[in-house]
Amino acid sequence: MALLEVKDLTIRFGGLVAVDDLSFTMEEGQITSLIGPNGAGKTTVINLLTGFYTPNEGKVILDGEDITGFSTDQVVSKGLSRTFQNIRLFSNMSVEDNILIGMQHRIEYGSFLSLFPNPKKNEWERKAREEATAILERVDLSDYRYEKSTSLPYGKQRKLEIGRALVAKPKILLLDEPAAGMNPVEKKELSLFIRSLLNDVRGILLIEHDMKLVMDISDKIVVLNHGAKICEGVPEEVQNNPEVIEAYLGRKGVHHDVTGE
Amino acid sequence: MKKYLNSKNIIFLVIIVFMALAPLVTDPYQLRVLISCELNMIFAMSLNLLMGIGGTVSFGHAAFYGIGAYTTACLWYHLGWNYSTNFLFVILITGLAGLLLALPMSRITGRYVTVITLSFAEIVNLIIKNWDKVTLGQMGIVGIPNIDLFGFRFHSKTQFFYFTLIFVILTYILMNWLVDSKLGRNLQAMRDDSIAAEAMGIRLFPNKVIVFTISAIIAGIAGSLYAHLMTYVEPSTFNANLSFSCISIVVVGGLGNFAGTLIGSLFLTILPEYLRRFDFLFKYRMIAYGLVLVIVMWLNHSIPGLKLKQAFQALFGKILHRNRTEEEV
Amino acid sequence: MLLQILVNGISLGSIYALTAIGYSLIYSILQLINMSNAAVFLTSAVIFYALYTSLTGSSVLLTFILTLMAAGAIGYVIEVIAIRPIREKGDSNTYALISSIGVKTILEQICQGTFGSEIKQFPTLLDGKYIDLFGARTSAIQIIIILTTLFILGFMSWFTQNNRVGRGLRALSQNLNACHLMGMPVNTLIGVSFAVGSMLAAVSGVAYCMYLKSISISVGSAIGNKAFAATVLGGIGELKGAVVGGYILAIAESFVSGYYSMAASNFISFGILILVLIIRPTGIFGKKEQKKV
């Protein structure tokens, strides 16, 4: 059984069909990438999966459970966690607090018990901080624990965002253009890091512009154009698919732009 | 224990110790000013919870203060109840009012929050003014007795002062517990980036409702104490200017900084009283509230977490800095 | 009766509309609710009163022109002192909003300090002259107010459509940053729009007091809040919305006070406002905001 199954997903904004009858699957322990030219509808797919938008048609099945039309908080607790294209950290909170927000849905005391000290709250706070310590270690940010999140350098902010998503203990991690704004050295480091994340989660859905990165680390690639899937397969298949080349270049021919060399 | 020894808590302790000793040296008039200070502290802390932590600027917070004041006044006037029972109703009614104001918040964002909170306060004020049977309308309710707790009637302002001081302390501690908890963190996350907060699985609406309700209850308690301090209530007290003064106090002390709010309350309550002494300033003393807003916004507003210290730094540090760069050029 | 109510409503609506345009104009450019607008309304009326009684003798026109100039200057200065420093640091509009509340408090307190808190008689025009409009007793000042407003509205729409400054203002409301990059004098234009907003508030402030034939310190906040409600009702940031909202509120109010009671008429404007915000939060002409993820 596939870890995530997307079936005939469609959403329309007014007259515009932003995602058109999209189907694909994600397998356990793999990195699946969603690529496509600007405006192909990639981020819209993430917004559909995470409950920011409700699809007009179609289904999203996560680990055998239908989560179509679930609200964002339900989706998070079912095991989908995301990062954002343009980093969205909680700018006036510390690095640690950002991490703690990531795990808030697993902290089992409610608003009333928040108001005064009590055993349940104390116990959970202790546990939460322990987990935060572990995650900060994992994303290599232990030294920055009490710093303001926006005071971190760019690359570390990315990692913090990933840490914040990881601490939610998701089944699937959705990374929306994690390499945006990075130089080649940083990208190299990032691709190793993303690969290593498969130890923490059961699957990764990657949306990325950088072809080299995508071709390097993906197990499977889904190509979108104008909201519809034009190709799906392992990197080699996708690279040689004429339709993909056309979508990227507008005409047949030049090959190396797609391969990223 | 060490984690409680930060600069804010030390400021808090110093203020409380000074306040607690103050009645030994003050005359009745000064004591009255200090009680106003305490009420402003509670009131402004409740607004700071909403503004600094919740990220919602309420322009009608006076409504809750007014509802609190009128609840206890009306219960005393019509039913003859004492403060111990009234207190429960103050909590209940102001809590409901907060809930009511929070309901439209599910549909609106940004600019409409300003609109809704302003209109809410305006409507509450109109109701108080016109519901003659209950609130006695424009005349107001007079002769409200000093606080009566389970048959023990306070007979001096000094007792009232210490009773209110307990509320200041409790409010401050509650705020600190709240901020350092799941609820407090979620609220701050919503304040910083509501979309990211949603993506992390925070349900915005229930959190908004809770913070509005808590804030309203605390403001209402301050209002109920006000009614017993002044011994009368009238509608014009609880107008938009009261809400704006409260915003001034919060802004001076720093958004999200509760110790700062205490300093802000002392500063902005005592300064106008002090200015009364000067004939030429007497008529203009309330300008302080406005000036402070413009100046603080002008100097430093890289908040939330604007601190008084930073404001001073901005004041003196900035000027030095500017000179230096001019020399370099 | 019906016609009489309508005439009263339209004259009051004119006053709301003029003030409401001030709110909308600034909002359309800066997305800032400029709370000082109501205080400028009051300040202008006080300035008019002070000039009329002490300096200019009995020339209403001269006093009026001087008041307009003063209001324009006040608007420009407010922008320079209280809004610009915050704007240029690129901070959230909430801080500019708080700063504008500061300005409002300062202006109101100055007015209260100099003017006092009693109600005083305000000069008016053509006192006691009435025209019978199909049975509706229409005072001369009502006609003057309505005609002046129509003239100003016409002028404003011509101004924003066809004039160089007007085009600049429209461009600003589309994209402030782009205007900056294009080398437009953004600061001057924003200053001018504050001046224009303040002058409109001045016209309505003076007109309202002439209509009442009296002035007191509370006129500013009373009309300011209603005008603000009108702005939101019409869709904040939309100039035509401000006008339509102003007239709707005022006519509804005069109907309720005509057929029911004065007290209820105060409720009606905020009742309508809350209702609109629940049913259609963007107001009548407002555009819907798309949630951006």
What CATH number is associated with residue B51?
1.10.3470
* Minimum CA–CA partner of C290 in chain A: A13
Query: What's the mean pLDDT in A145-163?
Result: 90
* Inter-chain contacts counted by CB atoms under 8 A, chains A and C: 5
Cα(B261)–Cα(B308) distance, integer angstroms:
10
User: B170 CB near a chain A CB, below 8 Å?
Assistant: no
Distance from CA of A207 to the nearest CA of B (A): 17
Q: What is the mean pLDDT of chain C?
A: 85
Instruction: Tell whether A52 is within 8 A of chain C (Cβ).
Output: yes
pLDDT of residue B6: 77
Question: pLDDT class for A158, splitting at 50, 70, 90?
Answer: very high
3-state class (DSSP) for residue C275: helix
Residue B259's domain spans which residues?
Answer: 2-328
Per-position DSSP letters for C139-165, written without gaps between them: EHHHHHHHHHHHHHHHHHHHHHHHSHH
CA of B214: which chain A residue's CA is closest? A115
Residues 6 or more apart from C245 whose CB is under 8 A from it?
C16, C17, C20, C229, C230, C231, C232, C233, C234, C235, C283, C284
Task: Note the pLDDT of residue B218.
Answer: 96
SS3 call for A175 = strand
Cα–Cα dist C110/C115, whole Å: 8
Interface of C with B in 225-254 (CB under 8 A): 225, 228-229, 232, 236
| Rounded distance between C-alpha atoms, residue C24 and residue C240, angstroms | 9
**What's the per-residue H, E or C state across B146-166?**
CCEECCEECCCHHHHHHHHHH
Contact C125, C140 (CB under 8 A): yes
What φ, ψ does residue A201 adopt, rounded to 5°?
-125, 165
Q: Which two tokens stand for residue C12?
A: 């009051």
Report which of residues C240 and C282 the model is more confident about: C240
B111, B57 Cβ separation under 8 angstroms:
no
- Name subunits touching B (3+ CB pairs < 8 A): A, C
Identify the pLDDT of residue A74: 92
pLDDT digit string (tens) for chain B, length 329 residues:
556 777 788 889 999 999 999 988 889 899 999 999 999 999 999 999 998 898 888 888 999 999 999 999 999 999 988 888 899 999 999 999 999 888 877 666 666 787 788 888 888 988 898 888 888 888 889 888 888 888 788 888 899 999 999 999 999 999 999 999 999 999 999 988 888 999 999 998 899 999 999 999 999 999 999 999 999 999 988 988 899 889 988 888 888 889 989 998 998 898 888 888 777 777 787 888 888 888 877 775 433 344 444 444 444 433 333 322 232 32
Q: What percent of chain A has pLDDT over 90?
A: 51
Amino acid B198 reads: E
Number of structural domains found in chain B: 1
Partners of residue A52 in chain C, C-beta under 8 Å: 291, 293
Residue C94, pLDDT score: 77
Dihedral sign from CA coordinates of C184, C188, C193, C196: negative
pLDDT for position C232 = 85
In this prediction, residue C33 carries a pLDDT of 86
Q: Which C residues 233-292 touch A at CB under 8 Å?
A: 291
CB A214 within 8 A of CB A49: no
pLDDT value of position B154: 83
Q: Supply C162's token pair.
A: 């066809």
Torsion of CA B102, B105, B111, B112, to 10 degrees: -90
**List of chains touching C (3+ CB pairs within 8 A):** A, B
Residue predicted with more confidence, C157 or C292: C157
Give the phi and the psi of residue B138 in degrees, each rounded to 5.
-60, -30
Q: What is the pLDDT of residue C172?
A: 82
Contact yes or no for B57 and C98 at CB 8 A:
yes
Domains of chain C, residue spans: 2-279
**Mean pLDDT to the nearest integer, A47-57:** 91
Q: What is the mean pLDDT of residues C163-186?
A: 81
Q: What is the pLDDT of residue B323?
A: 29
| A47 close to C (CB below 8 A) | yes
CB contact under 8 A, C277 and B130: no
- CATH of segment(s) C2-279: 1.10.3470
- pLDDT at residue B311, rounded to an integer: 47
**Distance between CA B5 and CA C155 in Å, rounded?**
64
Three-state secondary structure call for residue A169? coil
Q: How far is A195 from chain B (nearest CA, A)?
A: 23
Q: How far apart are CA C156 and CA C162, in angstroms?
A: 10
**Residue C144 one-letter amino acid:** I
CB B71 within 8 A of CB B94: yes
| Touching A: B residues 89-128, CB under 8 Å | none
Helix (H, G, I), strand (E, B) or coil at C130: strand
- Phi and psi at residue A32, to the nearest 5°: -105, 130
Surface-to-core class of residue A79, CB atoms within 10 Å of its CB (0-12 exposed, 13-18 middle, 19+ buried) = buried
| Ranges assigned E (strand) in A150-237 | 172-176, 203-207, 220-225, 228-233
The verdict on a CB contact (< 8 Å) between B111 and C33 is: yes
Q: Does C112 touch chain B (CB under 8 A)?
A: yes
ipTM of the shown complex: 0.88
Looking up tokens 């302003």 gives B118
Residue A85 at interface with chain C, using a CB cutoff of 8 Å: no
Taking an 8 Å cut-off on Cβ atoms, the answer to whether C85 and B298 are in contact is yes
Phi, psi of B231 (to 5 degrees): 70, 0
Please determine, for residue C147, whether its predicted confidence score (pLDDT) is greater than 50: yes
Residue C90: per-residue pLDDT: 67
Domains and CATH numbers, chain A: 1-79+171-261 (3.40.50.300), 86-169 (3.40.50.300)
